[in-house]
Structure 1
Amino acid sequence: MPVERRVFATLDDGTQVDQFTLTSEQLQVSLISFGASITNFIMLTKNNLDVCPSYPTIDGYLDNPFKMGASVGRVINRLRGGQFSIDGKTFDVDKNFNNTHCIHGGRKDFVHYNWNVEDERLTDNSVTLSHVSEDGDMGFPGKLTVFATFTLQCNELTVEYNATTDAPTPVNLTCHCYFNLAGHSAGKTALMEHTFQLNADHYLFVDDDFLPIKREPADGTVFDLRLHRDRVFYAREDLLTASITIPRKHLVSVGTCIGKFTKTGKFKLLITALPLIADYAQYKVWLKPSSEQSFLYGNHVTKAGLGRISENTPAYAGVVVYSMSDVPLGFGVAARSTAECRRAQPITNVLLHQSDVGEYIRSESDLLS
């Protein structure tokens, strides 16, 4: 789909800030030329979830103390004492962190400029913006020319930075986006339910000003993000035996993730457990062919769609849901007991949907271990 371009705002000096929208079958990403900032990251699902916090107007980006969605440079993070040396020469740069250190390139870093649009590089799925940082900008040596290219392909956004300089200078650029995968409007509670994995065996220990002091092993610390502490896996004995021969640093996971513990300590069973435990379920429900698709779209089941139900199933018992040909379809809760189902009207809900095999398509990222 062609890139959409519109005027996002006009600055006091008459400069035009453009907004570009890239769209694929699964994602829609918007960015503005001011600060080369991502303003929207929308997952094109039933609810069109925007997972990238942003400001509604240009006013937020003019200040933008948190660098929200912006392209940051020349040097992200902190430079101790606001100094660095190249070829024996010491350079003093802007001390904008506690009046002692330089952070993210100084008070007027790349976030606070309206980047140029490289019109000749525009394609149907890509936008390139550029910015020139002159020699001496915030104290940094050399004229630095930076290009930021945003490319959307299927379900992947790539942000690529390239820079050239006419003199030796430190360069460390990044896209400073924040993400809440439950939707940026979901708030902190939903954010704390996220699961994060990082295959790093060391972390940087920092001082009170968040400057790195030393490199420490992550083993046994809260910074060991390689482990699936909140997830429960099922693995065959032969897989576990084979895994012993694989070095720890190369072993990401073993087996199938069948559930996880929430932050409140509750255990949530995932649909991946279905083929492992379906045959052992005490209570089962079979659906008529006419109601299978509705269930697989996340809907409850009425008496009209009920094929049969296990004898003596109590109300509100957990059940495994099958097709009439004994194919497991998902998990549910019996809204009525077996006896109550026999007396229920055709439009009465008898099965409450919990999860179904359609999640392998709808929620693939949540099921990945």
Structure 2
Amino acid sequence: MPSDLTTVTRTPFGTTPDGRDVDRYELVHGQVTVAVITYGGVLQSVRVPDRDGVAADVVLGYDDLAGYVADTSFHGALVGRFGNRIAGASFTLDGTEHHLPQNYGTATLHGGPGGFHAQVWDAQEVDGGVRLSLVSPDGQEGFPGTVEVEVTVTLGEAGLRWDYRATTDAPTVLNLTNHAYWNLGGTGAGTVEHHVLRAAAGRYVPVDEGLLPLPDLAAVDGTPFDFREPTRLGARLRTADEQLLRAQGYDHCLLFDTWRDSLAGTREAWSGEPGGLPEVVRAEDPRSGRTLTLRTDQPGVQLYSGNFLDGTVVGRGGVTFRQGDGFCLETQHLPDSPNRPDFPSTVLRPGQEYVTSTTVSFGTV
């Protein structure tokens, strides 16, 4: 990445209620400007031009720290230790049962209420961006092992990139992702239902009434989850499909075709070229002309259509967040993997290193 063309500027972004200082790192490369804050590792702002060269912020967010501290929707945050849901707020590892807080019915969502999204990360400027680091102590939110995490966020010719690395001193589970809400029309542009999405995913994870995985994966053929050809996000959103009814829209993990047919295995099960990041999702806003291309080595992406944004929260520029005002593309391992030995493993052991990367690049049509 030609980081010599990227400028990085650090400014204060406020102080948490318990007295911790938070900084904002602004990365500028060409016509793209990205901001990351140390509270929650939040992707606070992404400004990109439309087809006419007019820049707008394409992630939902807040103008100040107070918004993020009060937020319950994980806006832009790094989530962990485990992105997505864990059934029964518990899992068994090497014969020991671990109990976690319940923050989504009887399940644990995104690592619990005190997860990585609610921590202040240490930060260090690096070539082209910022390296965020965090030590999660043994027992935090019920998870075993002391885990040391680094997430390097950079901006360059290849776009916006997250490089995740972690180690542990005891067996644990780990599944990290970013929870940005995208709207390629810009803040205040309204619904994203007209956005066109293409995803190289032939299977998805059906869910029960608690939005936890059912026993079997399903093919996307003939379902609202088939985005193998460019399709409007809202084209089938109001069909009487049981899965959409349960989630009040999309809140499902799509499984990329870059993973082998046999799911059982390790983090190295990706069948692509070593070190490569395949293009797996492309989104386009026909009105502004902005495009987003997602590349990752992860097996899946949680497609979330902002179903629970209810208009009660005021975001950037005094705009309220309403249902469908943004969509999430959370690259990750499959939900409830700690309780599903048939899914790719999310176990991390001493001596191993958790390593994964995701990039988002922008363009126009």
TM class by smaller structure: 0.5 to 0.7
CA contact (8 A) 1:27 1:154 kept: no
Matches within 5 A, 1:37-48: 37-44=42-49, 46-48=53-55
Number of the residue aligned with 1:59 = 66
The answer to whether the aligner puts 1:224 opposite 2:226 as a matched pair is yes
For residue 196 of structure 2, give the secondary structure of its aligned residue in structure 1.
Answer: coil
**Residue 150 (structure 1) aligned to one of 130, 148, 153:** 153
TM-superposition CA deviations, 1:247-285 (whole Å, max 9, x none):
xx89xxxxxxxxx9x99xxxxxxxxxxxxxxxxxxxxxx
CA–CA distance in structure 1, aligned partners of residues 126 and 201 of structure 2: 36
AA aligned opposite 2:143: F
* Alpha-carbon distance between aligned partners in 2 of 1:207 and 1:224, rounded to the nearest angstrom: 19
Q: Residues of 1 paired with 2:17 and 2:201: CA distance? A: 46
Q: Distance in 2 between matches of 1:127 and 1:366?
A: 27
User: Would the aligned equivalents of 1:126 and 1:152 in 2 still touch at CA under 8 Å?
Assistant: yes
Q: What is aligned with 2:20?
A: 15
Q: Does 1:211 align with 2:212?
A: yes
> After superposition, what is the alpha-carbon deviation per residue over 1:208-246, rounded to whole angstroms, capped at 9, x for unaligned?
11101020111111111102357xxxxxxxxxxxxxxxx
Distance in 2 (CA, whole Å) between partners of 1:137 and 1:11 is 20
Task: State, as a whole percentage, how many aligned pairs show the same letter.
Answer: 36
Aligned residue in 1 for 2:10: 5
Deviation at 1:101, TM superposition (A): 1.0
Q: Out of 48, 68, 78, which is 1:71 matched to? A: 78
Match of 2:252 in 1: none
Structure-2 residue corresponding to 1:83: 90
Report how far residue 192 of structure 1 moved: 1.3
Deviation at 1:10, TM superposition (A): 2.0
CA shift for structure 1 position 44: 4.1
Q: Which residue of 2 aligns with 1:114?
A: 120
Give the structure 2 partner of residue 103 of structure 1: 109
The one of the two structures with greater contact order (alpha-carbon pairs below 8 A, sep at least 6) is 2
1:108 deviates by: 0.8
CA contact (8 A) 1:33 1:114 kept: yes
Q: How many residues align?
A: 233
Q: 2:57 aligns with which of 50, 69, 84?
A: 50
Mapped partners of 2:132, 2:210: distance in 1:
33
Amino acid at match of 2:57: D
Deviation string 1:317-358 (CA, Å, 9 cap, x unpaired) is xxxxxxxxxxxxxxxxxxxxxxxxxxxxxxxxxxxxxxxxxx
| Structure 1 residue aligned with 2:247 | none
Q: Residue 32 of structure 2 contacts residue 46 of structure 2 at CA under 8 Å; is this kept in 1?
A: yes
Identify the residue that residue 128 of structure 1 maps to in structure 2: 131
Q: Identify the residue that residue 41 of structure 2 maps to in structure 1.
A: 36
Structure with greater strand percent: 2
Deviation at 1:94, TM superposition (A): 1.2
Whether 1:195 and 2:201 are equivalent positions in the alignment is no
Q: 1:47 to 1:211 in 2, by over 3 A?
A: same
- Provide TM-score, normalisation by structure 2: 0.60
SS across alignment from 2:30: coil
**C-alpha contact (below 8 Å) 1:24/1:155 kept by paired residues:** no
User: Paired residue for 2:29?
Assistant: 24
- What is the root-mean-square deviation in Å for CA atoms of aligned residues? 2.2
Whole-angstrom distance in 1 between the partners of 2:126 and 2:81: 27
Offset, 1:13: 3.8
Kept in 2: contact 1:2–1:123 (CA 8 A): no
1:185 and 1:229 map into 2 onto residues whose CA distance is: 23
Could you say what secondary structure the match of 1:35 adopts?
Answer: coil
Deviations 1:135-154 (A, max 9, x none): 01111100011111101012
Aligned to 2:240: none
